[in-house]
Amino acid sequence: MATAANPTRDEFEALLNEQLGGADEEGFEGRVVKGTVTAIEGGAALVDVGLKSEGRIPLKEFARGEDDHGLSVGDEVEVFVDRVENADGEAMLSRDRARREAAWDKLESEFGEGKRVEGRIFGRVKGGFTVDLDGAVAFLPGSQVDIRPVRDVGPLMDVPQPFQILKMDRRRGNIVVSRRAVLEETRAEQRSELIDQLTEGQVTEGVVKNITDYGAFVDLGGIDGLLHVTDMSYKRVNHPTEMIEIGQTLTVQIVRINEDTQRISLGMKQLESDPWDGVSAKYPVGAKFTGQVTNITEYGAFVELEPGIEGLVHVSEMSWTKKNVHPGKIVSTSQEVEVVILEVDSDKRRISLGLKQAQGNPWDDFAEKHPVGSKVSGEVKNATEFGLFIGLEGDVDGMVHMSDIAWGISGEDALALHRKGEEVEAVVLDVDVEKERISLGMKQLEKGAPSAEGAGGDLRRGQTVTVTVLEVRDGGLEVQVGEDGATGFIKRSDLGRDRDEQRSDRFQPGQKVDALVTGFDRSKKPNFSIKALQISEEKQAVEQYGSSDSGASLGDILGEALKKSDD
């Protein structure tokens, strides 16, 4: 389009629109455009971006170093148009804003693709640090600086390094980055590479990095493995510090590699010979060995027979006489004890031990030293409703049943004669080693007591005697032969043939009745039965006065027997 040498206002506007592609000047505001440096003066660069007037930009916005802006007249630069015209008629331009806008465009692209970005930590703010991302300022939280807490961030300041963008909001101008995410990703890549070089069963060396109560972390050259306390040795290890220390170089075996979690389990005892090989032959059942108590629990004590071989003494196998007692009151840690092998399970690596079996059964010892009929003495340890418990030699107890305390009185009255702590004498009536029971009798030592051979001298099984009722009980009658004879008991079922006759309340103390001696208990005390006497008399009557084919009734036979008796 031809123009005059001196164009009119309209013609000048048309030329300007043609040069700017038809856009108005207001459309330039808030945009990054290219301009040309027309002059450098007064610490600023004049830049022409095609507007009515040039813009003035401080040289420090172009600075690449101290007193080095790197600009020359005619250079083309990108600037941000803040305003087309200010109060002085100049365009307001900014190189920093242009750089930031360009940086934001680039960061948004890299954030969308999940790429790492490079930046420099240049300042400290509340809760973290500020990072320069080539013109854009980002926030680095303190927790995202490193994998582990960092005490001194000085070495990381003003050093170009990669970051990962966690979040960004261009409208608010917020960017949050993480250095820790980059380190974790890098470490994961290194772990994967190192794990690919390791195989289960491989023997390698490592340095103890950290020790905990349950084991130690060993550095295998860029990757850590866990050496659990149970894999340090076949013998019992109470704490890892008993075996290793921080900084120590260890030879370990790769026990297991978890591909999902990338965790490595290490072992030291796997490099030693297994002491459990051939343990059944070495420790046969019934053999006696000496070991050391290594640990005490509520259910028993562990005894080490040799390094790496431990057995359990269950609380029930610790003492013959001490029942329901905590194992700690019987043995102590580090104590040398003798034990007997009770059971060996090589597959489960378990050995059951017995402590009491190595000490001898006190019930056997008592039976050998005190046969039935021998005299013993001891202290009344406890009185119950059915008898007295007497403490005997060998820390065993014997029991005197209430019926064996005294002659001529009831069991309850006899119990009332003795108190806990009293010294008494008794005779051994029976020893049951298997059931750990000792039966004693005290009345057998009384003067004038019935003979043990005949319980009264003349009494024998099947003999008919007249007894006196001493005591009436619900379960039967306590009776005595004569005035100073043996005492015995008639059970309720032996009070008569008929059910009506089996009521003990139909008898009175002092009443005399006839009964048959049916036998003796282990203390030679006689047992009586009225029912047995009735059956015996009936049988004799049938034999004498009738037969099965005579046709006589039982009443006739008994009547004849009674008549004969009267005559």
**pLDDT value of position 302:** 93
| CATH architecture classification, 464-543 | Beta Barrel (2.40)
Q: Where are the alpha helices (DSSP H) in 470-553?
A: 530-545
* Exposure of 194 in the CB half-sphere (CA atoms within 13 A): 18
- CA-only gyration radius of the chain, Å: 54
Whole-model pTM? 0.43
Shortest CA distance to 417 belongs to which of 431, 407, 428? 407
Residues 113-146: pLDDT tens digits?
888 888 999 999 999 999 988 778 899 999 998 8
Tens of pLDDT, residues 179-232: 999 888 887 777 777 777 788 888 888 899 999 999 999 988 778 889 999 899
Closest CA to 56 of 98, 101, 90, 96: 90
Question: In whole angstroms, how far apart are CA 276 and each of 240, 311, 336, 552?
Answer: 22, 12, 22, 86
Residue 564's pLDDT is 53
- Shared fold status for 198-271 and 282-358: yes
Long-range own/partner contacts, residues 190-194 (CB < 8 A, 24 or more apart): 190/222, 190/223, 191/222, 191/223, 191/262, 192/262, 194/220, 194/221, 194/222, 194/223
**Pairing outcome for strands 350-354 and 309-314:** parallel
CATH of span 114-184: 2.40.50.140
Q: Which CATH architecture has domain 198-271?
A: Beta Barrel (2.40)
User: How far is C-alpha 230 from the chain's CA centre?
Assistant: 16
pLDDT value of position 102: 73
What CATH homologous superfamily does 282-358 map to? Nucleic acid-binding proteins (2.40.50.140)
**Residues whose CB falls within 8 Å of the CB of residue 233, separated by 6 or more in sequence, listed in order:** 243, 268, 269, 272, 307, 308
Domain locations along the chain: 28-99, 114-184, 198-271, 282-358, 362-445, 464-543
CATH superfamily of 362-445: Nucleic acid-binding proteins (2.40.50.140)
The whole-number mean pLDDT for each consecutive block of 10 residues of the chain, a chain of 567 residues, reads 55 54 53 76 75 73 58 75 65 71 79 87 92 86 87 88 90 88 82 79 89 90 86 86 90 86 86 84 90 91 89 89 85 91 89 87 84 88 88 87 79 82 89 86 69 53 87 87 81 88 89 86 75 86 61 52 53
Query: CA–CA distance from 95 to each of 45, 85, 133, 541 (Å)?
Result: 10, 17, 16, 143
CATH fold of 28-99 reads OB fold (Dihydrolipoamide Acetyltransferase, E2P) (2.40.50)
Q: How far is CA 91 from the centre of its chain?
A: 77
- 59 touches 105 (CB < 8 A): no
Q: How many CB atoms lie within 10 A of CB 87?
A: 6
**Block residue for tokens 């455009």:** 33
CA distance 349 to 193: 38
pLDDT score recorded for residue 502 = 87
